[in-house]
Amino acid sequence: MKSGLLAVVLAIGLASPAAAQIYSWRDADGKLVLSDQPRVDRGTMTTYAVSGAATVRATKPLPTSLKSALYDASINEHSRRMGVSADLVRAVIQVESAFNPSAVSTKGAMGLMQLMPATALEMGVSNPFEPDQNIRGGVAYLKRLLVRYDQKVELALAAYNAGMGNVEKYGDVPPFKETRAYVKKITGTAPSAPPNAIYKWMELVNGKSVARYSNKPPESGAYEVVSRR
Residues annotated as part of the active site? 96
Residue 197 carries which DSSP code?
Answer: E
Residue 210 carries which DSSP code?
Answer: E
Give CA 189 to chain center in angstroms. Answer: 19
Residue of 75, 196, 193 lying closest to 142 (CA atoms):
75
Cα separation values, 2 from 9, 166, 212, Å: 11, 56, 67
State residue 26 phi and psi, 5-degree precision: -105, 135
The CA distance from 177 to 166, in Å, is 13
3-state secondary structure of 89: helix
Cα separation values, 4 from 1, 43, 64, 112, 206, Å: 5, 24, 32, 37, 70
Q: Can you state the percent helix, strand and coil of the chain, rounding each to 5?
A: 45, 15, 40
The CA distance from 103 to 137, in Å, is 16
